[in-house]
Amino acid sequence: MAKITLTFPDGNTRAFPAGVTAAEVAQSISTSLGKKAISASVDGRHHDLQWPIEADAAIAIHTMADDAPALELIRHDLAHVMARAVQEIWPDVKVTIGPVIENGWYYDFDRKEPFTPDDLGAIEKKMREIINRRDPVTTEVWDRDRAIRYYEAQNEPYKVELVQAIPEDQQIRMYWHGHWQDLCRGPHFQHTGQLPADAFKLMKVAGAYWRGDSNRPQLQRIYGVAFRNRDDLKAYLTFLEEAEKRDHRRLGREMELFHFQEEAPGMVFWHPNGWTIYRALEDYMRRRLTAAGYKEIKTPQVVDRKLWEASGHWDKYRENMYITEIDEEHANEKRVNALKPMNCPCHVQVFNQGIKSYRDLPLRLAEFGSCHRYEAHGALHGLMRVRGFTQDDAHIFCTEDQIADECARFIGLLSTIYRDTGFAKFDIKLSTRPDVRIGTDEQWDKAEAALEKAILTVRNDYVVDPGEGAFYGPKLDFKLTDAIGREWQCGTFQADFQLPERLDATYVGQDGAKHRPVMLHRAILGSFERFLGILIENYAGKLPFWLAPRQVVVASIVSDADAYVAEVTAALTAAGVRAEADTRNEKINYKVREHSLGKVPVILAIGQREVEERTVTIRRLGETRTAVGALDQVVSDLAAEAVPPDLR
RNA sequence: GCUGCCGUAGCUCAGUGGUAGAGCACUCCCUUGGUAAGGGAGAGGUCGUGAGUUCAAUCCUCACCGGCAGCACCA
């Protein structure tokens, strides 16, 4: 029998007969490893222990102590166990697919009646029962026809389709959990008893399309989460509760920031508190952009369809555009207009006024552009996905040679703004040319290289997403990570060879001839609405002092202090601090509680003592400790704290 | 847009085929209290909208609107 050589993680090698399984390898090392082994990585591929190894390879045996492999197996096997449980309870339900996802898995079923929350409990119970049966998990390699015939006989049409979709050169593997079987490439545990019966939970049911295609049947999806042990599961459930407490829709109501109502779905009604945050952010952005060489402009909301036809939006984006018509009774001519869904065509109009010289480039036109897009009902989500929003948009008109430098400047600006708003960590993704595109290969080569070079001026780690660029040019996406580890794509930088062409933007070059500028679309926050939603959730409503809508509440303890409270409040206001007086007829406990819940960063308590000594007692949000300070000192300290980061 | 669930006071929610209730918030009164809810009284709702069934609908049915979750979408 042929021999193969396996290399272990510590560098040792050993010979085994070809076709040896990882289980046998583990067993040969030690009986205890044989028992503890759950799976193996063979040349970096994760396989189950029954997988025969036919050639020389690097091998690593995994046990439950190995986080990633253990979790993959747990979630993967639980998906099968759940499918089996469902079919044991409802034999006529058809199974489809059940992949592992972040924190768990899901499985899609074809069933007339949707699952109810009560069903989930019954399924969970059945799953525990199956786990306790400790059925062995075995695997068989079948040929294609047999698998198709089998699934046709079982009346599992989705599985037939899946088998048919498996590439010719791939094995078709069947896994058996006792008498129940599923099509799967593995890897799996050796028996279901290895699954932690107390570390998983079925979370929710939802509709999902077969193969993600909205034209195909809608299936019933059940989501589950699973971890290695009960404590990890509990920690995850606690995390979910935390995330729910941070929900900006809830905080928006509690802190009186904004509201939505039926008459304008997906459009924000900003309240004084919320609008104060918005303006603090907008003022900050305006200063940063001005300092970075941008010129701010403002362009119309309602624009004739002719421009959208010229820009190509009428063809490609009309479904998402709000179209308006002038009331025919009053209008002499009938014009069809659209609310702008994007600012770019209008910015080109500004560029096109007068004759531009190469000396004018790069020209950076910025607009806090108010846009409207008709988003599907199901897509709306608080401030995160709205129909009316304002982009921190800008378009840079430049030459191809200037792309790299402009991109580097942009990344520098973006880093500064993310740092100032509290997001130290962000990732960059470069999306390169798609199959269907415009522009020459030389242009793409140059633009892609320029973006890549620009990234390298600030950092050396980034992800390339080949083929995912827009048809009109390559792009960078910037994803920031919030306080609880969630990622949000906010910034974008896109080179565009098309729009200047379509809208005939030109400049006069050094040679006296007309040239086509490149247009760079770029945003840092994305939309103010969404970014504020992210900020609120990131800080759980406890915004940094410079962004807090009410920075200080001056609260009286006794009504004799009212006059002094007014004086303190006025002094703070004069010093540029957003301060409010609270002289209501309530106890200090009540006021402290209310303003703490309202996330006011600083409460100044004023009683008889403070009046006599001309001091204030400071209490900061989240602290129970208080400190006493002289009025003038405290006012100047708070005024310094209120200065936005770019003015410090 | 699709599937499911939901819509009762400003908020969180209970409730019933015979036109409604709690807590908090709100208003007024008492209370001047030292760091996360002092006490009392009062006011407040066309039960999302429209149609149908019924002697009678907030409750049952249907449609629409809106919300939530997931999916699809995010040139």
3-state helix/strand/coil string of A117-137 = HHHHHHHHHHHHHHHHHCCEE
**pLDDT at position A332, please?**
67
- Is residue A108 annotated as part of the catalytic site, yes or no? no
Q: Find the Cα–Cα–Cα–Cα dihedral A306, A308, A311, A312, rounded to 10°.
A: -110
Chain A span 102-121 residues with beta carbon within 7 Å of strand B: 114
Q: Which residue minimizes Cα–C1' distance to B5?
A: A116
**Chain centroid to CA A314:** 29
Is residue A592 very low, low, confident or very high in pLDDT (cuts 50, 70, 90)? very high
The distance (Å) linking the CA of A630 with the C1' of B41 is: 42
CA A637/CA A631 separation, integer angstroms: 10
Q: Stated in angstroms, how far is A590 CA from B24 C1'?
A: 13
- pLDDT for A109-137, tens place per residue? 988 777 877 788 888 889 999 889 888 88
Of all protein residues, which has its CA closest to the C1' atom of B10? A253
**Which candidate in A184, A344, A346, A398 is catalytic?**
A344
Q: Output the CA–CA distances (angstroms, integers) from residue A622 to A287, A541, A592, in the order listed.
A: 31, 12, 11
Instruction: Check if A391 is active-site.
Output: yes
Higher pLDDT: A53 or A636? It is A636
Give the best-scoring range by mean pLDDT among A14-23, A33-42, A66-75, A620-629: A620-629
Q: Please list the helix, strand and coil fractions of chain A in percent, rounded to the nearest 5, in that order.
A: 40, 30, 30
Mean pLDDT, chain A, as a whole number? 90
Other Cβ atoms closer than 10 A to A633? 11
* Residue A231: how many other CB atoms lie within 10 Å: 10
**A551 given a catalytic annotation:** no
Q: Which amino acid is at A295?
A: K
Spell out a b/e string for A473-496, using b for 16 or more CB atoms within 10 Å of the CB, else e: bbbbbbebebeeeeebebbbbbbb
CA distance A5 to A59: 10
**pLDDT tens-digit series, residues A131-183:** 898 888 888 888 888 888 998 988 888 888 888 888 877 778 888 887 888 88
Q: What is the pLDDT of residue A268?
A: 95
A610 touches strand B (CB under 7 A): yes
With cut-offs at 50, 70 and 90, classify the pLDDT of residue A328. low
A106: which nucleotide lies closest, measuring CA to C1'?
B70
Beta-carbon contacts of A527 under 8 Å, excluding residues fewer than 6 positions away, are A386, A389, A390, A391, A392
Give residue-wise pLDDT tens across range A77-86.
899 999 999 9
Distance CA A169, CA A156 (A): 23
Is A373 catalytic? The answer is yes
Amino acid letter at A83?
A: A
Q: pLDDT digit string (tens) for A375-392? A: 999 999 999 999 999 999
Question: How far is residue A351's CA from residue A347's CA, in Å, rounded to a whole number?
Answer: 6
Q: Point out the nucleotide closest to A315 (alpha carbon to C1′).
A: B75
**Is pLDDT at A1 greater than 70 in this prediction?**
no
CA of A558 to C1' of B3 (A): 58
Would you say residue A499 has pLDDT above 90? yes
Residues 249-278 in A having a C-beta less than 7 A from any atom of strand B are 249, 253, 260, 262, 265-266
Residues 357-386 of A with CB under 7 A from strand B: 375-382, 385
E strand spans, A251-307: 258-259, 269-270, 295-296, 302-304
A45 is catalytic: no
pLDDT digits (tens, 9 = 90+) for A292-314: 999 999 999 999 999 999 998 99
Nucleotide nearest to A612 (CA to C1'): B34
Distance A377 CA to B2 C1' (A): 11
- How far apart, in Å, are the Cα atoms of A97 and each of A72, A170, A212, A370? 16, 18, 11, 42
Whether pLDDT at A630 is above 80: yes
Distance A137 CA to B4 C1' (A): 34
pLDDT, tens digit (0-9, with 9 covering 90-100), for A403-441: 999 999 999 999 999 999 999 889 999 999 988 888 889
pLDDT digits (tens, 9 = 90+) for A235-262: 888 888 888 889 999 999 999 999 999 8
* Residue A560 confidence (pLDDT) above 90: yes
Check if A482 is active-site: no
- Interatomic distance A122 CA / B51 C1' (Å): 40
Scanning residues 201 through 230 of protein chain A, those with a beta carbon under 7 Å from any atom of strand B turn out to be: 204-209, 212-214, 218, 220-221
User: Does the pTM exceed 0.90?
Assistant: no
- CA distances (Å), origin A145, targets A141, A150, A152, A166, A443: 12, 8, 10, 12, 49
Quick one: pLDDT at residue A329? Answer: 62
Element containing residue A516 per DSSP (H, E): none
Residue–nucleotide distance: A274 CA to B67 C1' (Å): 21
User: Which runs of E-coded beta strand occur in A130-199?
Assistant: 137-142, 172-177, 180-183
Residue A63's pLDDT is: 87
Distance, in Å, from the CA atom of A287 to the CA atom of A239, rounded to the nearest integer, reads: 37
What is the predicted pLDDT for the residue at A326?
72
Q: Which of A50, A87, A220, A391 is catalytic?
A: A391
A245 is catalytic: no
Residue A491 pairs in a beta bridge with A478
Q: Which nucleotides of B are covered by protein (CB under 7 A)?
A: 1-5, 11-12, 30-38, 65-75
